[in-house]
Amino acid sequence: MEPIYIRIFKDIEAKILSGDWRPGDRIPREHDLVNDYGCSRMTVSKALTALVERGLVVRKRKTGSFVAAPQINRTVMDIQDIGTAATLAGYEHRHEILTRKIETLGPVEAAQLNSIAGVEILRIHCLHIVDGKPTAVERRIILLDTVPLARTESFVGAPPAKWLLSQVPWSKAKHVIRAVSADAATARILKIDRGDPCLNLIRQTWQNDRMVTYVEITHPGDRFQFAGIFHPTESALRQ
């Protein structure tokens, strides 16, 4: 037996998606839905809350609930560490640490990262090999102040992304995706030609406003892509 609040959710969602109720239209008051479905107001409220999360409805005190204005195109992308993605796709994955050194953060980089010059960092360069082919260069900075255990970690057993995930829960992440030309160093490492298009992912992670890590991952354009599917119903109801 399907829960009542899911039935309410689906009914209203269908009305909106079919165009039967248009943006700006008023949705029945909670009290009316209580009567229609013969349930309590909490149950109606749970359905409406899910519809708000789904982005289909806006609720306003005193005035009522309405079909939301058409939304921007928002998508959820899983931006995984390369090893996990490769394993899921059924490929073998390994990594090589190219550089590993402890430095202090210079003023220029500190400004870029919105951090403080002079703090100790671990700088790591790492090559990822998937299915026998070089698939990504990872250039990473880890703030030793936030992650002291990184000082003695070799990253041979698990690549930095995976190791960090197991060490530090993160509370905020920022991503940028760009297309760039391979510079000479990158081309040499990835065994591609200089100037070839590359997909460039930058990720900066914080734990409670303390920066954890900054990483720039460069993929050959012909060997990698990001994909995201947005199934709004599922995400709103966790089904």
Partner DNA sequence: TAGTGGTCTAGACCACGGG
Partner DNA sequence: CCGTGGTCTAGACCACTAT
Distance CA 56, CA 71 (A): 8
- Segment contacting its own copies by CB under 8 A, of 17-25, 107-115, 137-145, 151-159: 17-25
Contacts of 168 by beta carbon, 8 Å cutoff, 6+ apart: 146, 147, 205, 207, 212
Quick one: 30 or 145, whose CB is closer to DNA? 30
- The Cα 218–Cα 178 span in angstroms is 10
Q: H-helix or E-strand containing 217?
A: strand 210-220
Q: Which tokens in the block code for residue 142?
A: 């880890």
Q: Is 65 in the site for DNA (CB under 7 A)?
A: yes
The answer to the question of residue 157 lying near its own copies (CB under 8 A) is: no
C-alpha span between 131 and 111 (Å, rounded): 38
Q: Tell me which of 10, 30, 84, 127 binds its own copies, using CB under 8 A.
A: 84
- For residues 224 and 198, give the distance between their C-alpha atoms in angstroms, rounded to a whole number: 9
Least distance in Å: CB of 111 to its own copies? Answer: 18
Residue 70 makes contact with its own copies by CB under 8 A = yes
By CB under 8 A, tell whether 117 contacts its own copies. no
Q: Which residue's structure tokens are 């899983």?
A: 78
45 versus 167: smaller Cβ distance to DNA: 45
Alpha-carbon torsion 129, 130, 136, 142, what sign?
A: negative
The answer to the question of residue 39 lying near DNA (CB under 7 A) is yes
| 96-115: contacts with DNA (CB under 7 A) | none
Is 63 a binding residue for DNA by CB under 7 A? The answer is: yes
3-state secondary structure at position 216: strand
In this complex, which beta carbon is closest to DNA, that of residue 30 or of residue 216? 30
Min dist CB 41 to DNA, Å, is 5
Among 16, 48, 141, 161, binds DNA (CB under 7 A): 48
* Residue-wise burial string across 185-219, b where 16 or more C-beta atoms lie within 10 A, e elsewhere: ebbebbebeeeeebbbbebbbbbeeebbbbbbbbb
Single out the residue of 11, 176, 183, 188 in contact with its own copies (rule: CB under 8 A): 176
Token pair in block for residue 3: 């829960």
Q: Is 208 in the site for its own copies (CB under 8 A)?
A: yes
Residues binding its own copies: number (CB under 8 A): 59
Q: What residue ranges bind its own copies (CB under 8 A)? A: 16-19, 42, 52-53, 56, 70-81, 84, 161, 165-166, 168-169, 171-181, 195-200, 203, 207-208, 219, 221, 224-233, 238
